[in-house]
Amino acid sequence: MTVDPTSEATSEATSVPATARQSLSTEAARNLATTTKSAPQMQGISSRWLLRILPWVQAGGGTYRVNRTVSYTVGDGRISFVKTGSELRVIPQQLRELGMLRHFPDDEVVRSIADRFVKEEFRRGDVIVREGEPVDKIYLIAHGRIERFGQGAYGDETSLGVLSDGDHFGHHPLPDSRWEFTARAQTDVVTMTYNRRDWDASLNSSAALRRHAEAYLEAERNGRKGSEAVDLSAGHTGEVLLPGTYVNYELSPREYELSVAQTVLRVHSRVADLYNVPMNQSEQQLRLTIEALKERQESELINNPEFGLLHNADYEQRIYARTGPPTPDDLDDLISRRRGSQYLLAHPRTIAAFGRECSRRGLYPDNVDFHGHKVPSWRGIPLLPCNKIPITPERTSSILVLRTGEDNEGVIGLHQLGLPDEYQPGLSVRFMNINEQAIISYLVTAYYSAAILVPDAVGVLENVEISRFDN
């Protein structure tokens, strides 16, 4: 049998797999190559504009005291409050806005009444009082909107008006009186309430207060409410005796103690010794830990109940969006309530909602060059993103406006310099130990707080809708 060598060669050639390599694979070649690598990346790092724009002030001894004057106006029919973190107090002198206490001279009795007011909170839609029920409390509205409803001529429900910050109701309860309206919370509401039983106890303990209240109730029964004269002088000539007033200092000024954020960074000694080329493992671990610590620091400056800006903004500096979404009119109202508004802070989705409202009106806000970045602005005020401002489940959020600096009577950041093992201003990295598992531990600590020097340094546009897309 003869074999054709050509045909045999052809058969062998066709049996070679089509995928056979003709050169070294890249997987094998990488064993001899030095890989180019990036430093560890962290998605959670944000712009942290608040930490950049706050002037940081040294708080020696870990405490910063804000001395203020007590300012209030008697005669405008509205009540003012002192807000310290989550604590809320009534200014005693302001209780003379209530009909039953107007012109009552005994400051001690008025102060004792103010001390008995307690804080109550209501959610949106809650019925606070119901028409026909006994008047058992005095309500002072510290924050929020309450709408009053009554029965119309044909039995339907009619609106009797809206009460908001500083308003009050139930303030002149006649014996056996009942509510003449139903009060329902339009927004989340914070009130200071005074129980009718406490009022009766005050009457029993002070004969002067009882006589004053009886005279007021007599005028109520006879319809002689009248109006009080405003104590001022204007347009006069000659030597007229002018009315006088004074501004008192707060007897118990607010003190801010530095808050702390800490963590323990652990690195195995074998990792620290053997795997430091081309990047130092300990330094990279520390860098990412500090980034996470600063993210938490900014979140606390916004949201902490004791010193966070959202919780400590004065109630008189909070407003609501007129129609829901953040409109140019709302921002104009917000920045007009203070002198020298410098910065606007909002969640990026809130900024997008504001942009939609501007586009709908044919407005195109200018961008400004801010710290080397192009950022949107309104009325020349930078509108800076801050993802630490929360978004509620109802898809609402807030916009902050700030004035900063000690000389400007604004908002300041607080820290302390010269810490042991200081790594950055106000931040220390302290070696702790090496345990029996050869793990090295470092204590990473940041001390910080924020102080609002005067109430109008911070304003808040609350409950803005960020998910409305109108055609």
pLDDT at 436: 93
Angstrom CA distances, 408 to 239, 301, 453, stand at 38, 20, 9
pLDDT at 1: 47
In 3D space, the residue among 181, 184, 193 whose CA is nearest the CA of residue 123 turns out to be 184
Whole-prediction pTM value?
0.69
* Backbone CA torsion sign across 279, 280, 285, 289: negative
* 62 Rama class: left (phi>0) / alpha (psi -120 to 50) / beta: left
pLDDT at 76: 46
Spans of the chain below 70 pLDDT? 1-19, 70-77, 154, 161, 171-175, 218-236, 242-249, 470-471
pLDDT at 110: 87
- Rounded distance, CA 76 to CA 383, Å? 35
Q: How far is CA 21 from the centre of its chain?
A: 65
pLDDT at 244: 63
